[in-house]
C-alpha cells in the first residue's frame, strides 16, 4: 500500500484466512493514503468490532469524500462509539476534521468547545475547515476565536 501497489495488497489481504483488526487498519490506511476512501469505508463495514484505530481511519476516509453520505456515516458512528473514545485526541481530531470537511460546522464547533483537553491538531482541523469552507466573512477573526481557548 505504501508503494501504491493496491492490487497486490488486496490480493494478500483477501487470501488471508484469519484477519485481525490491525490488518483491516493497514488496508484502510492504505486506501486512505491512495485516495480510495470508498474502499476504506467498505472495508470498515466488514469489521465486526472496530477499535479506535479503525474508527479514526473511517473518519479520515469520510473527510476525503466530503459528501452528505459521508457526514451521515460520521454522525452515526460518532454516536455509537464509547464515550471513552472521545478522550483520544487523535480520534477526536479526525472526527472534527471529518465534520468540518463534510460541512457540519455547528457540530464540529460544539464538540471542539466542549472538549476539555485540546491539542494543536484539533485547532488545525478546525482552521483547515474554516478556511476550506470560507464560511466566515472574516476568516482571521474566526481563527483567532479558536485560539482564545488555547
**Residue written as grid cell 488486496:** 10
pLDDT of residue 61: 98
Q: Does 1 reside within a domain?
A: no
pLDDT of residue 37: 98
Q: Can you list the residues of the chain whose pLDDT is less than 50? A: none
pLDDT of residue 127: 86
pLDDT of residue 147: 62
pLDDT of residue 99: 97
Whole-structure pTM over 0.75, yes or no?
yes
* 116-135 CB burial, b ≥16 within 10 A, e <16: eebeebbbebbbbbbeeeee
CATH number of the domain bearing residue 99: 1.25.40
Q: Does 128 reside within a domain?
A: yes
3-class state of residue 82 by DSSP: coil
As for how many domains the chain has, the answer is 1
CA distances in angstroms from 131 to 63, 82, 100, listed in the order given: 15, 31, 10
pLDDT of residue 130: 80
Amino acid at each position: 500500500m505504501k508503494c501504491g501497489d493496491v492490487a497486490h495488497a488486496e490480493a494478500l489481504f483477501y487470501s488471508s484466512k484469519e484477519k485481525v483488526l490491525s490488518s483491516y487498519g493497514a488496508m484502510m490506511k492504505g486506501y486512505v493514503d491512495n485516495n480510495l476512501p470508498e474502499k476504506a469505508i467498505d472495508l470498515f463495514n466488514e469489521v465486526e468490532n472496530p477499535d479506535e484505530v479503525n474508527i479514526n481511519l473511517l473518519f479520515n476516509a469520510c473527510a476525503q469524500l466530503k459528501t452528505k453520505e459521508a457526514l451521515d456515516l460520521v454522525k452515526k458512528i460518532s454516536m455509537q462509539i464509547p464515550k471513552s473514545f472521545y478522550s483520544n485526541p487523535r480520534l477526536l481530531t479526525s472526527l472534527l476534521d471529518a465534520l468540518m470537511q463534510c460541512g457540519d460546522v455547528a457540530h464540529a464547533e460544539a464538540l471542539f468547545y466542549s472538549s476539555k483537553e485540546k491539542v494543536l491538531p484539533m485547532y488545525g482541523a478546525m482552521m483547515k475547515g474554516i478556511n476550506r469552507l470560507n464560511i466566515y466573512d472574516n476568516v482571521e477573526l474566526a481563527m483567532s476565536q479558536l485560539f482564545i481557548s488555547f
